Amino acid sequence: MVRRSKDPLTAASKSILRPALAPMGFRPYKTRDFICCHGDILHVVALQLSAWGSKDFAVNYGAMPLFPATEYVYLPTGGRLRQGRSPDGWWSALTHEKADASMASVVQAVEDQLPPFFRRTSTYGGLADELGTIDHPQYTFMKACCEAKIGHRDARITLERAISVIKRFLGEHPDTAWVITRLAEATALATAIDNGSEQRLLDEWAQATATSLKIQRGEPGT
């Protein structure tokens, strides 16, 4: 008999969710996350345990580019699995029986809700479109990175818009570290686009991210 984890959520995740995600290309990453790389696009499915001690959990999902370089997995796009009519689904993992039943429901929700999102964000153009729906300077910069990756004619325009917004944000928050870093990166990408070295810079950033996160970059994407 295969021994299951004493933790109901961990046990259900390994025995039910993991094999369901495998055909979609996902593999376990850390304790409760699953990842899949399409080129330099990282897809994430992450279980979130309630912070209130109830043993309830939610399932978040998203897609992120591996550039600019980052040391963290984050979800700039995506959202949370819905449960029934609720856009904010939470399931119980109080016992092994409840966790197993919950995870079976989660698998059904994954199959019903996630394939369209992951198909859209499996290409740099699709991810760029998704990032373009979010009004945030970091994500506008990421959109420009994705457009530059595929040589999109609007990449320089998107990048100029990102630089302008980042500079304005820096003026309002002069001591914010990420703003200073993003401005330097965005300026570097602008220079690289101008001299034709943007692919090398994006590759360096993606490899730095892969190394920091200890992940394997996927097959070349489009």
pLDDT of res. 114:
97
Domain of residue 178 covers 124-213
For the chain, the domain total comes to 2
- Verify that 148 and 209 share a domain, yes or no: yes
Assessment of whether the complete model's pTM goes beyond 0.85: yes
Q: Is residue 139 part of a domain?
A: yes
**Separation of CA 57 from chain center:** 19
pLDDT of res. 220:
66
Which phi and psi angles does 80 have, rounded to 5°? -130, 140
- Verify that 102 and 149 share a domain, yes or no: no
DSSP structure class, residue 137: H
Q: Which amino acid is at 59?
A: V
Q: Is residue 13 part of a domain?
A: yes
- Verify that 138 and 163 share a domain, yes or no: yes
| Mean per-residue pLDDT pooled into runs of 10, the chain (222 residues) | 82 97 96 95 97 93 98 95 90 97 98 97 98 94 98 96 94 88 97 98 98 90 54
Q: How many CB atoms lie within 10 A of CB 64?
A: 25
Domain limit, last residue, from 99, 120, 141: 120
Per the structure block, which two tokens stand in for 11?
């046990």
- Verify that 132 and 193 share a domain, yes or no: yes
